Amino acid sequence: MNKPLKIIVNILIFTLIAGFGFYVGFSTKSDYKIGSSDTENQETEFVSPYKKANSFDLTSDVLSFDIYEDKIFVALQDKVSVFDFEGNKQYDFEINSNVRDIVAIYDTIFVLYPTEIELYTIDGQLIDQWEACSDNADYCAFTISNNYLFVTDADNKLIVQYNKDGQLIRFIKSPHGFVIPSYAFDIICINDTIYCSNSGRHKIESFTIDGTFIASYGVSGNQAGEFSGCCNPVYLEKTEGGNILTSEKGNPRISSFSKHGKFRTILLDSNMLGNGTDAYRMKIQNKNLFVAGKKSFSIYTFDCKQLRNPCSGCDLECPTKISRKKQTNDYD
């Protein structure tokens, strides 16, 4: 190879190496975590739109909980303990063991077990009891809307719909088939739509009140807005603005999605939740995020001032706001 040609080849090789190095450096610099603020030379830590306002411990693991008016109803081993938002216990009432879920609504406490549902007054007096409609039922979670009660059944892999008097209305099945490892089979209702986790498929599926399938949402993966592991999302919650919150296990985090499945932001990551691998139960009320994990209970308040785009009006990071343009439609 003559000298001029050799010089040209060396220049081209140097240019390619330098260009590749610049590309890698630029990509790394641009890969910020959700909620972080812009920094020139390094990736910054996750910044949540929430901050912990209060926390308290309980005597046993939290099996489920719900928020009703200004009280927290916590289902423990064989009782429901009622707390105010400061963590002060108000009273207890006895229930059976092996609770799967609890819902407080219409001045009534509904308690779900694997094969039955019990109804209590707010102060703990037993009102009624409904037996499961199948001998091999294994109920996981339930939600109440429009005088109907929807229960997920892990053994039969379907949703059971009751009326307000406990009479069976119908069974609702997924057209894709529910795959439910580890009882990760949560369900919520937003207006006239039912949303249910199909955790083994890393999906959230939606149905009409009469059981008609609408759509499924969710992507498998390890990035923000994706679901990984054997069964995610584990828990679902609705916001006042009609969005969906998800709670995951493995890498515990709570995220926000639109009701059409568009990822919005991570609200709490594993570090803020206390690490571990279990999913955390959650409820939201008036922008306060209530979170339970094992024997601990925490209350987080919404505070977007520290974010890159503070919540002025209807910013993406605000999990509860409704779009000003379309108050009755989805906010993406």
* Residue 11 dihedral angles phi and psi, to the nearest 5°: -65, -40
Q: Against a cut of 0.85, is the pTM above it? A: no
User: Which uninterrupted H or E stretch holds 252?
Assistant: none
Bridge partners, residue 81, by sequence: 74, 92
Q: Please report the beta strands in 230-287, taking only residues with DSSP state E, as ranges in sequence order.
A: 235-238, 244-248, 253-257, 263-268, 281-285
Helices (H), the chain: 3-30, 270-273
Location of structure tokens 């990760």? 184
In whole angstroms, give the CA distance from residue 45 to residue 30: 14
- Neighbour tally for 84: CB within 10 Å: 11
In whole angstroms, give the CA distance from residue 22 to residue 25: 5
pLDDT 10s per residue in the chain (332 long)? 555 555 554 555 555 555 544 443 433 333 333 333 333 333 457 889 999 999 999 999 999 999 999 999 999 999 999 999 999 999 999 999 999 999 999 999 999 999 999 999 999 999 999 999 888 999 999 999 988 999 999 999 999 999 999 999 999 999 999 999 999 999 999 999 999 999 999 999 999 999 999 999 999 999 999 999 999 999 999 998 999 999 999 999 999 999 999 999 999 999 999 889 999 999 999 889 999 999 999 999 998 776 665 554 334 445 545 443 443 333 33
- Please report the sign of the dihedral spanned by the C-alpha atoms of residue 253, residue 117, residue 297, residue 123: positive
Torsion of CA 318, 67, 144, 113, to 10 degrees: 130
**What pLDDT does 275 receive?**
86
**What pLDDT does 219 receive?**
94
Closest to 234 measured CA to CA, from 291, 169, 190 = 291
| DSSP code per residue over 171-231 | EE--TT----GGG---EEEETTEEEEEEGGGTEEEEEETTS-EEEEE--BSSSTT-B-SSS
Radius of gyration of the chain (CA): 24
